[in-house]
Structure 1
Amino acid sequence: MQAALTLLRCLGREGPTLAGVVAWQARRAPERLALSDGTKDLTYGELHARVQERAQAWRGAHPPGTLVGLECGGGQVAFVVDLLAGLRLGWRVVPLAPGRADMGLASPPPSSSPPVAGRGGWVPPRAGRPVLMTSGSSGAARLVRSAVRPVAALRVAGALLDALRPHRDAGVVLPLPLWHGHGLATLALALGVGAPLHLRAGASLEAIWTTLETVDAEVLAVVPTVLHRLLAVPGNAPRLRVVLSGSAPLSPELAAATRARLGDVLFDAFGSTELGVLSLATPADLRAAPGSVGQPLPGATVRIAPDGRVLARGLLRRDWHPTGDLGVLDASGRLTLRGRADDLMMIGGENVWPAQLEAALLAVPGIVACAVLPVPCAEYGQRPVAFVEGDVDEAALHAFAQSQWPRRLRPVRWVLRPLPRTPLGKVARGDLRSGLG
């Protein structure tokens, strides 16, 4: 009860944002490690002091509510300080990937600029919020202006905390960028429970394994591409009990490989930038229904439209909103995705999900990534084209397709080359689609 009262007082003084949460953690245990990026460490007391200094220096630069772009190019610890200071000032802070500073947003003053006279002293509490950018796997980047629904957010957060059981002594390793929702959510999770967060975006696979072992990390947040690459090299993580995957489809094969290497520690979160986190597959879900993304979390609701599209509402949306995915719900309420709605193929009057063919291809020895897209066909309406990355030749692929699929499902063309990727490692299907002409 005392901790809750202290939290409320800190949020009242500093504002209801992550900056207020950090102020609370600094009151509780100022000497505890908050952030480390491998070269710079900050305790919670130091992080709170840095945020206060930056907020005072930036006071008056922009009015509350201003959309301010913050580029993630000056160091991860420094970025967190700037992010929290912007929230403390009431700005709507847009984390930007490096090279995205030309989005027409307001900019914070340079970190090296001296404080402006009259900007010192205590800053009144403000309620800023992060604003994310999205473009899916293609299209121009755009701002997501959805506001958090507090009750739904508390229910979702409570369910995640109950499933993942993070705590202040459980080190968290994050090898993902902070400009993406997965990275920001992990930042909020670690700061919320007062855990040390080890920021390792851009680190080598060997350095990530070394961090996991030397800091006795219990939680690792990844996307499937990073997880796949980590499992391909030696490494040990004796205390790891949660591997939280998200942001891209997790194949049953990768889930099984993770279980064999690390034990029953894998969780898979599903959501979107527009909707927030919607469901979580636990290790038990991934054993019982490989390939599913689990049941919807409390505070989120999912249903399947007649055409197979996944509709959802949750912590960012009160009304039903399409996720852009196709999927099915099983008898236990678990959601399994069947690919993106834009990529659904209609072959000979039959709905065919690219994910069905992609999952089969990924089982072919030598294939590390693939994507299947439709092209027009006079006979069947559409036929698939398969893009394949890996150590495999076209003759082996033809033989595999002939042994596994009827003629209408066999790719009319095989494209063997490295696949384009988004900054988070997803296959950039939009680039492939545009290349089909």
Structure 2
Amino acid sequence: MRRTWAAVRATGALGERPVRAALSLLRCLGREGPTLAGVVAWQAQRAPERLALTDGTERLTYAELQARVQERVRAWRSAHPPGTLVGLEAAGGQVAFVVDLLAGLRLGWRVVPLAPDREGMELASPPPPSSPSVAGRGGWGPPRAGRPVLMTSGSSGAPRLVRSAVRPVAALRVAGALLDALRPHRDAPVVLPLPLWHGHGLATLALALGVGAPLHLRAGASPEAIWTTLEVEDAEVLAVVPTILHRLLAAPGNAPRLRVVLSGSAPLSPGMAAATRARLGDVLFDAFGSTELGVLTLATPADLRAAPGSVGRPLPGVAVRVAPDGRVLARGLLRRGWHPTGDLGVLDDSARLTLRGRADDLMVIGGENVWPAQLENALLDVPGVVACAVLPVPCAEYGQRPVAFVEGDVDEPTLHAFALSRWPRRLRPARWVLGPLPRTPLGKVARGVLRARL
């Protein structure tokens, strides 16, 4: 707890009188409810004129954000009872989505942020913004904590709701370690080009609002527009997935104040880590976790130099181990006991975890375990290859052979020549499939869709 307290103080969120500020936060959470909505109410009380967030169209101070949330709560106060699963779409813009999310949490709802293509989940819906206020009793009522309920990404199967509850003690230890490593500050602007319906985006939203840092929402923006925001706003923190990082590195731009690039939600290749270091310096961090289990490990710039391709060490409050069959198991933030992550991996002597691919995609070729990531990381070094995925198909001779799906400006003879120079016959893809890869709304390769095409 002492380390967490020191990390929180270092963010500047508590100001020059941290004990008094912490007590005012506790009072505010007691009045407004122990959610992110309560934190925003506290920020509005302490620094009403500070910029809270902008999406390029709207700019709200903390006072304006709090007023918008209160207005929405009054309009929705009797729409659904506390505890209701309510689906929330982002059709009205990113700032409006944050307002609706905070209002739903203040009302005690279990809010499910929905991706654009997620329908038919049998969730309740809030009234549309243009409808009149819902009739009901006045007043705010006793606060009941709402919470976000996330959905799996759908990269390996149909999306589903995840109903895990955060374990408070483990969450404090994880949060303290992340604050200590990333060093966010209330005067350090954050740029978020990720959607808010995913865990990575929501976690960054909570981080920025929690410390009071200006948050620039840029989901869907072009790489050039993101670079412009980074430079003009003197941004110090950028949250990305590898797909967005790849596009940024391929575009011109400058970010002189950038000191943290936090990647996550998909594998980060050693080549991309090296390219980021060459372009931006030692600023790259890579987080690994899952919607079901929460964030598990963090690779610092030092980890990525010492063990390229690793996802770092387990965070305090989290335990990770690798079963004899190579499956990664974890416990900590969201679950008690050991639970499979669905990944294969290895731990080195320094307790760093390196992933080898999804457990469902493990190939057994000629009696040898072969991880798709072994072949995919090599293929990403071929000039012109933007993305790839390797999956197994049956083979009479070897039991299984790989099939390679490749996206980019490259032809089959080039790929065949590369495989011939690097791999024995059993590892050379039995078939090359060229063209755009199917992706989830977050940009992950939809391996489940590819598997159905085999």
TM-score by length of 2: 0.95
State yes or no: 1:393 paired with 2:432: no
1:244 aligns with 2:253: no
Does residue 191 of structure 1 match 2:209? Answer: yes
Q: Deviations over 1:401-426 (max 9, x none)?
A: 11111111111111111111111111
* C-alpha deviation, 1:254, in angstroms: 0.4
8 Å CA contact 1:71–1:100 kept in 2: the answer is no
Deviation at 1:319, TM superposition (A): 1.5
Q: Please identify, of 134-143 and 240-249, the stretch whose mean Cα deviation from structure 2 is larger.
A: 134-143
Task: Report the counterpart of residue 219 of structure 1 in structure 2.
Answer: 237
- SS of residue paired to 1:142: coil
Counterpart in the other structure of 2:359 = 341
Structure 2 counterpart of 1:33: 51
Q: Secondary structure at the match of 1:397?
A: helix
Distance, in Å, in 2 between the alignment partners of 1:63 and 1:321 is 33
2:163 corresponds to 1:145: yes
Amino acid at match of 2:347: L
Q: How far apart in 2 are the matches of 1:393 and 1:36?
A: 43
In structure 1, C-alpha distance between the alignment counterparts of 2:134 and 2:375, rounded to whole Å? 60
- Match for residue 205 of structure 1? 223
Q: Is the 8 A contact 1:68 1:105 kept in 2?
A: yes
Give the distance between the partners of 2:398 and 2:136, measured in 1 at CA.
72
2:310/2:355 contact within 8 Å kept: yes
> Does the Cα contact within 8 Å between 1:375 and 1:382 map onto a contact in 2?
yes
**1:16-415, aligned counterparts within 5 Å?**
16-415=34-433
Once residues 377 and 209 of structure 1 are traced to their aligned partners in structure 2, the CA distance between those partners, rounded to angstroms, is: 47
SS in 2 for 1:312: strand
Tell me what 2:444 maps to. Answer: 426
Cα drift, residue 164 of structure 1:
0.4
Equivalent pair of 2:79/2:134 in contact (CA under 8 Å): no
| Partner amino acid, structure 2, of 1:340 | R
Name the CA distance, whole Å, in 2 between partners of 1:85 and 1:101: 22
Q: Deviations over 1:313-372 (max 9, x none)?
A: 121111111100000000000000000000000001100001001111111111111111
3-state SS of the aligned residue for 2:243? helix
* Residue 138 of structure 1: how far off its partner (Å): 2.7
SS at match of 2:388: strand
Q: Deviations over 1:114-162 (max 9, x none)?
A: 2234444334211000000115413222100000000000000000000
CA contact (8 A) 2:78 2:135 kept: no
Gaps of 5+ in 2: 1-18
What letter is aligned with 1:85? A
Deviations 1:9-44 (A, max 9, x none): 000000000000001111110100001000101111
Which AA in structure 2 matches 1:389? Answer: E
Encode CA deviations 1:38-57: one digit per residue, 9 max, x unaligned.
01011111111111111121
**Contact persistence 1:56–1:119 (CA under 8 A):** no
Higher alpha-carbon deviation: 388-397 or 371-380: 388-397
How big is each residue's C-alpha offset from its partner over 1:230-250, in whole Å with a ceiling of 9 and x where there is no partner?
110111111000000000000
Q: What amino acid is the match of 1:223?
A: V
AA of the residue aligned to 2:385 = I
Q: Distance in 2 between matches of 1:81 and 1:93?
A: 12
Name the aligned partner's letter for residue 393 of structure 1. D
In structure 2, relative to structure 1, the CA distance for the partners of 1:136 and 1:333 (3 Å cut) is farther
What TM-score, normalized by structure 1, do the two folds share? 0.98
Counterpart-to-counterpart distance in 2, 1:261 and 1:135: 30
CA distance in 2, matches of 1:416, 1:202: 26
Q: Counterparts of 2:433 and 2:39 in 1: how far apart (Å)? A: 50
* SS state at 2:356 partner: strand
Task: Quote how far apart the aligned CAs of 1:102 are.
Answer: 2.9
Structure 1 unmatched runs, 5+ = none
Alignment RMSD, CA only? Answer: 1.0
What SS is found at the alignment partner of 2:282? coil
Amino acid across the alignment from 1:195: A
Question: Aligned partners of 1:209, 1:95: CA distance in 2, in Å?
Answer: 27
> What's the CA shift string for 1:353-402, capped at 9, x where partnerless?
01001111111111111111100001110011111111222112111111
1:274-324 Cα deviation digits (max 9, x unpaired)? 000000000000000000000000011100011000000121111111100
How many residue pairs end up in the alignment? 436
CA contact (8 A) 1:274 1:316 kept: yes
* Aligned match of 2:16: none
CA distance in 1 between counterparts of 2:390 and 2:278 reads 28
Counterpart residue identity of residue 268, structure 1: D
86 and 280 in structure 1: CA distance in 2 versus 1, 3 angstrom threshold: same
CA distance in 2, matches of 1:69, 1:20: 21
Whole-angstrom CA distance in 2 between matches of 1:79 and 1:217? 22
Contact 2:78 2:136 in 1 (8 A): no
Which stretch of the first structure deviates more once superposed, 99-108 or 359-368? 99-108
Contact 1:173-1:197 within 8 A present in 2 as well: yes
Residue identity in the other structure for 2:444: K
Q: Which amino acid aligns with 2:377?
A: A
